[in-house]
Amino acid sequence: MSEDVSDGWSASASAWIAEQGDDGDYGRRFVLDAPMRSRVEGRGFRRALDVGCGEGRFCRIMQRAGIRTTGIDPTEALLARAKQMDPDGDYRLGRAETMDVDVDAHFDLVVSYLSLIDMPDLGAAIAKMVAALRPGGTLLIANLTSFNTAGQPDGWTRDSEGALRFSIDHYMDERPIWLSWRGIRIQNWHRPLSTYMTLLLDHGLQLRLFVEPEPVDGDPEKIASHRRVPYFHIMEWQKPV
């Protein structure tokens, strides 16, 4: 069994796989994939660790860029799908906070693609990810913005005049949030941006990129929604030599 089913991922795995399909959901396909690919392609990365790899979609993207990948995830059903899609791939059951990385197997690229929000002990998880990096290696993060998670689980609501509004509240209070859609019910974590930045800076990492990507295509209503409220950011950090 998966290590921990209390966060809803095991029960939601089948619905998640159906939602993602082969190409990913809207945010991945039309907002995050292009800038994430641009950060891994043609830069000489040889070995990558995908932390919270889920069904292995970004591992397969990195492999097509010539990168040898290892994926780790705590949900057995998602790893089974990853292995089904990529029988020769290296996928391991485990949590970011407790993953065991051999000291002689440091990676030149560690990726967290929308997985930090799933990790209850963020400090332990980031420490493990930094330890997995070789000196000079790159930590690439795609994450939900803290402005967005501070508005969940209600998200968009209508005001007294019927206009759609996105209400942000209790921004500074770190807390778990249960989100439900299309048969999926999972626990995410809201944390202020300063929490992420402080933990990363405390490890001596150097910030090389911070962007808030916009949609490049797809449903015009979704494009408008993503432009009104920030959904994602991408950060790239470098471990000192």
Predicted confidence band of residue 103 (pLDDT cuts 50, 70, 90): low
Predicted confidence band of residue 130 (pLDDT cuts 50, 70, 90): very high
CATH number of this structure's domain 9-146+192-238:
3.40.50.150
Distance between first and last Cα of the chain: 39
* pLDDT at 181 exceeding the cut of 70: yes
pLDDT of residue 102: 67
- Give the domain ranges of the chain: 9-146+192-238
pLDDT digits over 194-203, tens only? 999 999 999 9
pLDDT digits over 49-95, tens only? 999 999 999 999 999 999 999 999 999 999 999 999 999 999 999 99
pLDDT digits over 31-44, tens only? 999 999 999 999 99
* pLDDT at 19 exceeding the cut of 80: yes
Instruction: Enter the DSSP assignment of 28.
Output: I
Mean of the pLDDT values across residues 92-116? 89
Strands (E) located in 56-213: 68-73, 90-93, 107-113, 133-144, 156-158, 164-166, 175-181, 184-190, 206-211
The mean pLDDT value of the chain amounts to 94
Mean of the pLDDT values across residues 225-239? 95
Q: Report the candidate in 72, 76, 25, 50 with the shortest Cα–Cα distance to residue 184.
A: 25
Are 146 and 193 within 8 A, CB to CB? Answer: yes
Q: Which two tokens stand for residue 144?
A: 């939900």
* pLDDT at 1 exceeding the cut of 50: no
* pLDDT at 120 exceeding the cut of 80: yes
Q: Strand, helix or coil at 219?
A: coil
Looking at the whole model, is its pTM more than 0.75? yes
pLDDT of residue 178: 96
Are 142 and 50 within 8 A, CB to CB? Answer: no
